[in-house]
A and B are shown apart, each in its own frame.
Chain A
């Protein structure tokens, strides 16, 4: 197989469950894993005579996401019925938005491995209701569970701006981080809170000519890994198929493939895209939504600094590593707590170390966020300052942080109570150093020798001093004294 030159083109259709208390158009609670058909009412069952009532919270959540995705939010938006027959769709139409979606023309910044970001266009984001689930048990019948029917669903459609499987995964993870930051969705892929349907094809360059392979839509992706793998698989499959058949994109040859998690391959579901006629028309049972300036302002006030912005700020302003910045911004509460500690005077790098090396571990053990450990930002900032000033060692700070969580006391008090204050008094330390030097003539000679033994001898002597002070000596000060004496 000759080396094929190609560009990968991927656009995504994404469905995000909004984590409201109740469903999109009725008062049923959202649920997961409940007994089938236990969270239903006449409205979400599509009984005769029922009418939908819009869930205001769902609408506000949707607008919030749209704003975070830099979309133009429509002042006037309406509902439409999308008609198709399927047993999991009780009314045989879905209430959705067709020609006047609540938002369009946005973009999302995704982090790249290079440390840079890339902007992916958002065509539109609109609200709709989810369907139920068909359960295919054994026997010559199927069952329908309508607990999920009517769950508020935000549909986001991106431009085909992604050019690799890694970029697609980065977008998916970034979107998950955003909706979690905004507190509008748990965004748990296993629970189906986020569903991704990539449209993949290749632009192949051969003999100076460009060829586009037929678009494939991939369904049934229930993890980030599956999402990434499916695109990698499609790239290989489409390239091979092009070499075999030369087939290129044309009207009506888009196909749908399902992802087989076990075979790690996409499997053809529908050869040709069926000419669906959804017979959209305006939903007469709902009134259009007019977003007033005040309402828009109220929703906007709930926006927060987006994770990617935060992450870049940590890297650029605080000189944190990409990795550390990523860890601190994975959850909104962590980043916000970090910001508060820094604001209270903690040196960013020290605070970062405290949080990433101790705080997150403790929070994880307790099953809470770092902000819920019971340590006030002020107190942690103080601990960071103590490290900075050499009052306590980095090693001791770990112990102090742990005890702060347990005892809820100020770091200084804990340090004193547990004798964790570093001895930095040069006068006192000098005497101990002299004692150690006197007791270890061989090492002193080695250290003075100036050859490669000297480094080892120096650290040995430093260790001896630390041992004598039960680890409380400030190693920096001790080193200085040693250098002076032996240098």
Chain B
């Protein structure tokens, strides 16, 4: 007998499980069947935990049968990007240097998922240390796009978005330093939210660019993003950069989700949109039309410093990365070279053997930017530009509630198409990195398909700590469209 894989969102699934109408064990089994059927093609996971997942599902089912209260994600199979620490399985960051690293603790978000009774299916593939836009920089395996297996899933959270799109889980966690949730979400036709910097604890997220990194949900619907936020958002005393809830209270993101915002003003930046492929431009225009029909006022705004975002992003992110990744030295844990001559060789050889090409490139870039004599010209200047971009948003949000733009100038590109041209790869982040530099929330929602039947994402950006509003505005659009209901046929 084949277990049914309910085609339903997390909220619905959770309620059915909690009501006892559907067994978590049955759903979890069905998810693993789907994985077993297609994972060899897709390659979304670095590690799966079938036995533990089924045992956990059974436990939840038993709890429900016994009439005990269950959490917000009771019995729902979810996946975690492999740069979040778990005491179960390895935490590899898709790097050879951490291939066999087992964390002694769980990331705060993982603890929160477990406390919400989620069933953890596995840990997903990614660009090594989250450095990349295609998941091709994984040091461990290749992930392909479920919509077209000759194409990349986007990155760096490509494993998570591919897993959600391929129905290998009902929701996943990703991390976003320069677009790493939103861009692969758009490439894979799923919803991805990068919350405000400080809204979700980074404790246990293996750092890439500490001042930019933020964990967020990847789901099939906007509502599921809201549900996931209800589970993972909030102050964490272990993360000094997380915001206390007196300053910014955490609302119930689901409470008013279906209430449209009245007298809504949405900003667009026409000259920015013009930089995308024509199919992407068309899809964005289509989205604007949908909002217009809902009575939304569209205002054209200017983002004068937007074009300068890429340089400061790659300086700040790589500078922080060069320092964050210094600890992978073969001394305390992780890969250590065999037969080093002295302790210097423990460093140099372990790192040379353990890190991939892109990681090395970024460490060198960052090291250079921080070197004495260059600091002012690069790092300090980058911080100044970052402030200008923040200023652009502050000004823009005086005229509108949210800003619409593409997530990526293109849809999913072919595997190997850009690997030899890192600059071209970097430039494809143009639309997403500004939100990280400004620390504001931003969501990607499916808004159409291109001529190759590849998904296109609509990006909506809003002021800091306004995720509730952002989700409601995204939901207004989603309710009017069917894009999110489309499923890839895995060949």
Interface residues of B in 367-386 (CB under 8 A from A): 367, 370-372, 375, 379
Contacts of A48 in B (CB 8 A): 85, 91, 93, 98, 101, 103, 206-207, 327-328
Residues A284 and B101 in contact, CB atoms below 8 Å apart? no
B340 to chain A minimum Cβ distance, whole angstroms, is 10
Residues in B neighbouring A427, C-beta threshold 8 A: none
- B359 nearest CB across to chain A (Å): 14
Digit string of A81-114 for contact with B (CB within 8 Å is 1, else 0)?
Answer: 1010101001111000000000000000000000
User: Could you tell me the distance between the alpha carbons of A92 and B322 in the complex, rounded to whole angstroms?
Assistant: 11
Known contacts being A93-B326, A277-B371, A285-B241, is A47 close to B331, with CB within 8 Å? Answer: no
In the bound complex, how far is the Cα of B346 from the Cα of A281, in angstroms? Answer: 26
A90 pairs with B332, CB closer than 8 A: yes
Measured CB to CB, the nearest residue on chain A to B129 is: A48
Known: A42-B105, A277-B372, A279-B367. A49 touches B207 (CB 8 A): yes
| A344: interface (CB < 8 Å) | no
**Is B237 engaged at the interface, CB distance under 8 Å to the other chain?**
yes
B300 beta carbon closer than 8 Å to chain A? no
Expressed in whole angstroms, the Cα–Cα distance for A287 and B371 within the complex equals 23
A47 to B326, CA, bound (A): 11
A81 vs B325: C-alpha distance when bound (angstroms): 13
Residues of the A chain whose Cβ atoms lie less than 8 Å from the Cβ of B327:
46, 48, 90-92
**Docked pose: A46 CA to B331 CA in angstroms:** 11
Size category, A interface: 20 to 34
B-facing residues in A290-313 (Cβ within 8 Å): none
Q: Which of A46, A49, A87 contacts B85 (CB 8 A)?
A: A49
The answer to whether A92 and B329 have CB atoms under 8 Å apart is yes
User: Interface centre among B205, B328, B372, by most A CB within 10 Å?
Assistant: B372
B98: nearest chain-A partner, CB-CB: A48
A279 to chain B, nearest CB (A): 4
Q: Kindly identify, within residues 264 to 313 of chain B, every residue whose CB is under 8 Å from any CB belonging to chain A.
A: none
Residues of B close to A46: CB separation below 8 A: 327, 332
Tell me which residues from 326 to 362 in chain B have a Cβ below 8 Å from any Cβ of chain A: 326-329, 331-333, 343, 346-347
Residues of B contacting A47 in the complex (Cβ-Cβ under 8 angstroms) = 85, 103-105, 333
Give the chain A neighbours of B319 by CB distance below 8 A. Answer: 281
B372 cross-chain contacts in A, Cβ below 8 A: 277, 279
Q: Tell me if A64 counts as interface (CB < 8 A to partner B).
A: no
CA distance A45 to B346 in the complex (A): 18
Q: What distance in Å separates the Cβ of A148 from its nearest Cβ neighbour in chain B? A: 15
Q: Mark B229-251, 1 if CB is under 8 A from A, else 0.
A: 00000000111110000000000
Interface residues of A in 318-363 (CB under 8 A from B): none
* A54 on the B face (CB < 8 A): yes
Interface residues of B in 86-124 (CB under 8 A from A): 91, 93, 98, 101, 103-105, 107
Kindly state the separation between the CA atoms of A87 and B367 in the bound complex, as whole angstroms. 19
Q: A48-B98, A279-B371 are in contact. Are A92 and B326 (CB under 8 A)?
A: yes
Q: A245 near B: Cβ within 8 Å?
A: no
Could you say which of A83, A144, A281 has the most chain B C-beta atoms within 10 Å of its C-beta? A281
Considering only CB atoms, which chain B residue lies closest to A277 in the complex? Answer: B372
Residue B391 at the chain A interface, CB threshold 8 Å: no
In the bound complex, do residue A53 and residue B323 qualify as a contact, i.e. CB atoms below 8 Å apart? no
Q: How far is the CA of A50 from the CA of B333 in the complex (A)?
A: 14
Closest chain B residue to A286 by CB distance?
A: B240
**A142 interface residue (CB < 8 Å to B):** yes
A279 touches B370 (CB 8 A): yes
Chain A 209-235, CB-CB to B under 8 Å as 1, else 0, gives 000000000000000000000000000
If the complex has contacts A48-B206, A277-B372, A281-B319, are A53 and B379 also in contact, measured as CB distance less than 8 A?
no
A83 to B211, CA, bound (A): 18
Q: A53 contacts which of B237, B331, B371 (Cβ < 8 Å)? A: B237
Q: How far is the CB of A81 from the nearest CB of chain B, in Å?
A: 5
* A258: Cβ under 8 A from any B Cβ: no
B260 at the interface (CB under 8 A from A): no
Is B367 touching A49 in the complex (CB atoms < 8 A)?
no
CA distance A87 to B98 in the complex (A): 18
C-alpha spacing A284/B98, complex, angstroms: 23
Contact, CB under 8 Å: B240 / A51: yes
**Cβ of B240 and Cβ of A85 under 8 Å apart?**
no
Tell whether A281 pairs with B323 under 8 Å between CB atoms, given A53-B240, A287-B241: yes
Q: What is the distance, in angstroms, from A336's C-beta to the closest C-beta of chain B?
A: 37
A93 to B207 CA separation, bound complex (whole angstroms): 14
Q: With A42-B104, A284-B320, A286-B240 as known contacts, state yes or no: A51 contacts B326, CB within 8 Å.
A: no
In this assembly, does A390 line the interface, its C-beta being within 8 Å of a C-beta of chain B? no
Give the Cβ gap from B421 to chain A, nearest Cβ, in Å: 28
Q: How far is the CA of A42 from the CA of B322 in the complex (A)?
A: 20
Q: For residue A147, give the distance in angstroms from its CB to the closest CB of chain B.
A: 14
Q: In the complex the two chains form, is B240's CB within 8 Å of A83's CB?
A: no
In the bound assembly, the distance between CA atoms of A49 and B326 in angstroms comes to: 13
Decide yes or no: A85 and B329 within 8 Å by CB, A51-B238, A53-B240 being known contacts.
yes
Residues in A neighbouring B202, C-beta threshold 8 A: 51
Q: Taking CB as reference atom, which chain A residue is nearest B203?
A: A51
Query: Is A160 interfacial (CB 8 A cutoff)?
Result: no
**Is A183 close to B, CB under 8 A?**
no
A192 is an interface residue with CB less than 8 A from chain B:
no
Q: Does A475 contact B (CB under 8 A)?
A: no
Task: State the CA gap A52–B98 with chains docked (Å).
Answer: 21
Residues of A within 8 A of B209 (CB): 284
CB distance from B207 to the nearest CB of A (A): 7
**Is residue B47 contacting chain A, with contact meaning CB distance below 8 A?**
no
Q: Are B379 and A281 in contact (CB under 8 A)?
A: yes
- Residue of B whose beta carbon sits closest to that of A132: B332
Q: Is the CB of B104 within 8 A of A51?
A: no
Instruction: Return the chain A residue nearest B351 by Cβ.
Output: A85
- A77 nearest CB across to chain B (Å): 14
**Which A residues, 252 to 292, have Cβ-Cβ distances below 8 Å to chain B?**
277, 279-281, 284-287
Cα separation A49 to B456 with both chains bound (whole Å): 32
Q: Does B71 contact A (CB under 8 A)?
A: no
- On chain A, the residues within 8 Å of B371 by CB distance are 277, 279
Q: Bound state CA distance, A42 and B104, in angstroms? A: 7
When distances are taken between beta carbons in the complex, the residues of chain A under 8 Å from B203 are: 49-51
B97 to chain A, nearest CB (A): 10
Give the complex CA separation of A144 and B240 in angstroms: 28
| Chain A residues in 8 Å Cβ range of B326 | 83, 85, 91-93
Q: B104: which A residues are within 8 A, CB to CB? A: 42, 47
B210 & A285 in contact (Cβ 8 Å cutoff) = yes
Q: Does B204 contact A (CB under 8 A)?
A: yes
Q: Is B84 an interface residue (CB 8 A)?
A: yes
Question: Measured between C-beta atoms, what is the minimum distance from B406 to chain A in Å?
Answer: 29
Which residue of A is nearest B105, CB measured?
A: A42
Q: Contact partner of A81 among B91, B205, B323, B346, CB < 8 A?
A: B323
> What B residues does A285 contact at CB under 8 A?
207, 210, 240-241
6 nearest A-B pairs in the assembled complex, by CB-CB distance = A92-B326, A284-B210, A284-B211, A279-B370, A48-B206, A49-B204
25 examples of A-B residue contacts, CB within 8 angstroms: A42-B103, A46-B332, A47-B85, A47-B333, A48-B206, A48-B328, A49-B107, A49-B205, A50-B204, A51-B238, A51-B240, A52-B240, A54-B240, A85-B326, A87-B343, A91-B327, A92-B329, A93-B326, A277-B372, A279-B323, A280-B375, A281-B370, A284-B209, A284-B211, A285-B210
